[in-house]
Copies of this chain bind each other. A is one copy, B any other.
């Protein structure tokens, strides 16, 4: 049974605090193994990647077959139905349109001393996208990772997607082609992350790695962070639905299940101001669970981590939501727009009952790579910003240096950094001479 809380319960605060800190994932400590794998790939390059792929994916590769050839990609893409292709293309078009608006602007201005200040944005030169293989091999994730990179202007975009036993998902390859990916490698795990970060004889290193993965991939990303940029360490995901009684319980139930079906450590939470409505949704979830294809996974997630929280009023709902800082927040309330404005911490907000979260997973336009495990408190979903970086610009005139240089010199001296001060003083002295 999911947890059922009411803010009027005397022990609510303790129960909610415990709920917030519930650990939903038993991350195995694979750090030592991953460190060895990375060292091996750095030392032996292709040979290590090929051996590890044989071991973990039961797939024999050569340096020549590490990457899919254009013909192989073509053959796989041809297997996709016209309907699936059209759906992918609609999704790609909408994701591109949304992300195109995210390109940050350069700036340049002159201040009152005559100094010119500003900044300029530019794309990362090469990016690598990790795409999980097997069950969780999602073409939508390829679009969500690759399109922001291409919109940002990334010149070279490589994908690593493991193909255990040689099995690949044609939709993943088609999504990569639609998004404009340049290279696709049939490798996975920590060895793929190491190959992308450090390069091998066959795989050129990239500057930034994004994309979800298992514990090995996450540990590897954490380790190569600094050598390359990474997006985030994704944890199990969650949805929070805030709904009043004027909703169809079954709609809310399937929305909750659409998160629960991802994996057993996913979390689905309903906050409502009506206990009867909460019960009705719970009943609807149970009914749907009878026939759902992934009822094993979704049922376990719902029983273990699901929650229904009854609040006195919707202001209370927003406060609790901010403490949860959900990855996905659905607002099915009378004035959803007004509530959305009040929310401080959420990865993505879906406003109104006609906006099921699944729209955002595929075709809404915003990115579906979002901060999990309460990290919406400090981080954002994937965007064009992840594939650009800023160079700050400063240009002094002699007059500007005369105006602010003495303060710099003074601070340099106070920090015992004499040469810093001298680099300003040498110029100021010249000004005084003339």
Q: With an 8 A cutoff between CB atoms, is A58 at the interface?
A: no
Judge whether B358 and A412 touch: CB under 8 Å. yes
Q: With an 8 A cutoff between CB atoms, is A334 at the interface?
A: no
What is the bound-complex CA distance between A113 and B420, given in angstroms? Answer: 58
Q: With an 8 A cutoff between CB atoms, is A427 at the interface?
A: yes
**Top 5 A-B pairs, shortest CB-CB distance:** A229-B378, A366-B392, A351-B395, A380-B390, A257-B419
Interface string of A86-123 (1 = CB under 8 A from B): 11101100100110010010010101000111011010
Residue on B with the closest CB to A413?
Answer: B84
Would you give the shortest CB distance from A283 to chain B, in whole angstroms? 15
Q: With an 8 A cutoff between CB atoms, is A158 at the interface?
A: no
Q: Please name all residues of chain B whose beta carbon is closer than 8 Å to the beta carbon of A373 when the two chains form the complex.
A: 226
Q: With an 8 A cutoff between CB atoms, is A434 at the interface?
A: no
What is the bound-complex CA distance between A91 and B359, given in angstroms? Answer: 48
Residue on B with the closest CB to A383?
Answer: B390
Judge whether B380 and A419 touch: CB under 8 Å. no
What is the bound-complex CA distance between A119 and B364, given in angstroms? Answer: 13
Q: With an 8 A cutoff between CB atoms, is A414 at the interface?
A: yes
Q: With an 8 A cutoff between CB atoms, is A391 at the interface?
A: yes
Which residues from chain A sit less than 8 Å from chain B, CB to CB? 83-84, 86-88, 90-91, 94, 97-98, 101, 104, 107, 109, 111, 115-117, 119-120, 122, 124-125, 135, 138-140, 171, 207-208, 222, 225-226, 228-229, 232-233, 235, 248, 250-251, 254-255, 257-258, 260-262, 288, 292-294, 298, 336-337, 340-341, 343-367, 370-371, 373, 375-381, 383, 385, 389-398, 400-401, 404-408, 410-412, 414-424, 426-427, 430
Query: With contacts A261-B420, A392-B367 known, is A248 near B377, CB below 8 A?
Result: no
Other-chain contact of A235, B86, B120, B226, B380 (Cβ < 8 Å): B226
Would you give the shortest CB distance from A432 to chain B, in whole angstroms? 14
Which has the most chain B C-beta neighbours within 10 Å: A88, A107, A350, A407? A407
Other-chain contact of A346, B140, B337, B371, B391 (Cβ < 8 Å): B391
Judge whether B90 and A404 touch: CB under 8 Å. yes
What is the bound-complex CA distance between A169 and B225, given in angstroms? Answer: 33
Judge whether A251 and B349 touch: CB under 8 Å. no
Judge whether A292 and B426 touch: CB under 8 Å. no
Q: Please name all residues of chain B whose beta carbon is closer than 8 Å to the beta carbon of A417 when the two chains form the complex.
A: 258, 261-262, 294, 358
